[in-house]
């Protein structure tokens, strides 16, 4: 399957290089090139793409600002001549951060990550909402975990750690996949690296959630939704 992609960069030499590189990769399919973030946003409002090669320093709307507006389903690969933005780029869950001038080897390394994202190893048991099976070490080896026992889930790059009242279980998966296997009525994401059980929250303040005497940070992106959920259950 080819990944549909667009280029958003106001420097013609940079867009020509990216177009050339995309044409050499059989799992990439170019859908458009834009030298203006607002034009790209207008395009994305009516068309769906999988990947955006996004320059950071652009007029009107910067690449960082655009990445916060577009659908979370679109994977972002930042391209820029300024290394100072790398940390913020990765905080936005970018697939990669390419520093200009970009070599084809480095470009291919970045786009190869699109095909290597961990698949879900967490499966909801049929006809049940009170437990899940977690893939552990070994072929076809799963561990049954009751939802009521889960305190919180922590992202560890290509792995996640399920913290329960009895143990910690590490599985090769993404936090996104685990979230999709948990009922939204009982669990909520509070940070790019943490999902917590509402049942096991002991207390909270403006910056942290406390679960089983563990302090977990509240990310700015998730703060409003989290406190909306708290508001629903307050007395």
Question: What is the reported pTM?
Answer: 0.50
Which tens digits make up the pLDDT trace of 122-165? 444 443 458 888 877 655 678 888 899 999 999 987 788 999 98
Which tens digits make up the pLDDT trace of 179-216? 888 888 889 999 999 999 999 999 999 899 999 989 99
Q: Is the dihedral of CA 95, 182, 221, 161 positive or negative?
A: negative
Which tens digits make up the pLDDT trace of 62-99? 888 888 888 888 999 999 887 655 445 445 668 888 88
Q: Which residue has the higher pLDDT, 85 or 48?
A: 48
């Amino acid at each position: 399957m080819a990944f549909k992609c667009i280029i958003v960069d106001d420097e013609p030499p940079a867009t020509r290089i990216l177009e050339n590189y995309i044409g050499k990769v059989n799992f990439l399919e170019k859908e458009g090139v834009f030298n203006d973030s607002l034009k790209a946003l207008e395009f994305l409002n009516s068309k769906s793409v999988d990947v955006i090669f996004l320059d950071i320093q652009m007029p009107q709307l910067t690449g960082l600002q655009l990445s916060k507006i577009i659908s979370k389903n679109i994977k972002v690969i930042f391209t820029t001549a300024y290394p100072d933005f790398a940390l913020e780029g990765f905080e936005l869950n970018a697939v990669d951060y390419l520093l200009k001038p970009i070599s084809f080897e480095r470009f291919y390394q970045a786009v190869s990550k699109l095909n290597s994202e961990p698949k879900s190893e967490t499966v909801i048991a049929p006809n049940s909402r009170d437990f899940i099976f977690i893939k552990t070490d070994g072929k076809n080896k799963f561990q049954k975990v009751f939802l009521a026992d889960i305190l919180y889930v922590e992202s560890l790059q290509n792995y996640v750690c399920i913290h329960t009242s009895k143990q910690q279980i590490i599985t090769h998966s993404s936090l996104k996949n685990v979230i999709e296997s948990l009922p939204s009525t009982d669990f909520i994401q509070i940070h790019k690296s943490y999902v917590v059980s509402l049942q096991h929250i002991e207390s909270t303040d403006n910056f942290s959630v406390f679960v089983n005497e563990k302090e977990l940070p509240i990310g700015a992106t998730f703060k409003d939704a989290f406190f909306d959920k708290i508001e629903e259950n307050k007395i």
